[in-house]
Structure 1
C-alpha cells in the first residue's frame, strides 16, 4: 500500500469560508484504489507555505505521492506550480501533459492549467486542478498508471516493458 498526502491550495478553504470538496474527492478516489491517505491539509495560496508542506510530506513523512489541488490557474494568487517547481528535483512532465491532453478533449479551457509534476527523492508530486469535476477527470486519466510509476520510483520494480 502506497502513502499519499493531499494539499488543497485555497485562500477561502483555509479560512473555513469554503468546503474542501476537491481534497476530499482525491482522498476517496485514492483510498478506493488502495492507497493510504496519511495527511490532508488545506493551505492558503502562499508559495512558501505550499512548498514547505510538500517538503515536509516528502522528506519527513516520506510519502510516496503528493497530490495538490487548486492554485494552477492564471490568478495572481495561483502559485501551486511555482511552489512545486521549487521543491522537485526532477520533472515528470508526461503526467501533466496527459492530464491536459485528455482534458482538452472535454474543454478548451484545459489549456489554461499550469499544473506540473515532478519527483523529490522517492516522492512523486502532481498538481491537479481545483474543481471537483476536473479532479475526478484528471485522476481518471492517470491513477491506474501512477501505481507502476511509484513502484519504479521506490525500487519495487525496474521494468516498464510488458511481456
Structure 2
C-alpha cells in the first residue's frame, strides 16, 4: 500500500480541500454516494481561486472518521475539510463526536447558522447536530465542517438563501470560510459573489491588481 503524501500546491493560493462522505450503505456499495459529487459541483461553481480536492467515502465508524480527518489535515495538508452525513440523532450518526475528538478549537457558529437555514424548510432541522472545529498541528491548521447529507441541504447551508430579487435572506456558512482560513494561516480563497459573497474586513482584503 502506498503511503499518503502531502498534496503539493500548484499555486500559492491553491486551496486544498478534503471531502468526506460518511455513510454505511454508500461505503459498502448498497447505493451510489451523492454527497461527494454534490460538494465538488458546488465548489466548482463557487470558487474563483484554484483548488484541489481529495475524496473519502467511509462508513459511520467513529474511529474511522477521526482517523480520516487526521490523515487529511496532518498528512495530506488540507486547509479545509467538509464532511457530509452522519449528523442526525440515530445511533450510527457519530460524525460530530468523531469531529470534536480531533479538534483543538470548536467553532459553534457554523452549526448554529446551518440549523437556522434548515429551519426555514423543516422543523426537524433542530435534530441536526453538525459541528465545526479547527484542527491545529505545530506547522499547520485546518477548518473542519460537518454538512448535512442531502445535496439540496448541502447547497442551501453553504450558499445561503436569497429572495427573488437577489437579496440575502440567510447568509450561507461559506461566506465566512475564506476569512477563517486566512486567520489560521491558509491560502487566500476567493468566490463568485453571485453564488456566495465571501466576507472579509476591509483590512484583510487584497488590493485588486491593476
Asked if these proteins are the same fold (TM beyond 0.5), I'd say yes
**Among 64, 71, 75, the residue aligned to 1:60:** 75
Retained in 2: the 8 A contact 1:72–1:129? yes
Query: Could you say which residue in structure 2 is the equivalent of 1:147?
Result: 178
Aligned-pair Cα RMSD in Å = 1.6
**Among 85, 102, 115, the residue aligned to 1:87:** 102
The structure with the larger Rg is 2
Report deviation, 1:162: 3.6
The answer on 1:128 being equivalent to 2:147 is: yes
Structure 1 distance, partners of 2:92, 2:152, is: 21
Structure 2 distance, partners of 1:97, 1:83, is: 19
Report deviation, 1:136: 1.2
Aligned pair count? 161
Retained in 1: the 8 A contact 2:15–2:187? no
Query: Could you say which residue in structure 2 is the equivalent of 1:137?
Result: 156
With normalisation by structure 2, the TM-score equals 0.72
Q: Which runs of 5+ in 2 are unaligned?
A: 1-13, 160-171, 189-199, 204-210
Q: Which runs of 5+ in 1 are unaligned?
A: none
The answer on 1:13 being equivalent to 2:26 is: yes
With normalisation by structure 1, the TM-score equals 0.92
Structure 2 distance, partners of 1:148, 1:139, is: 15
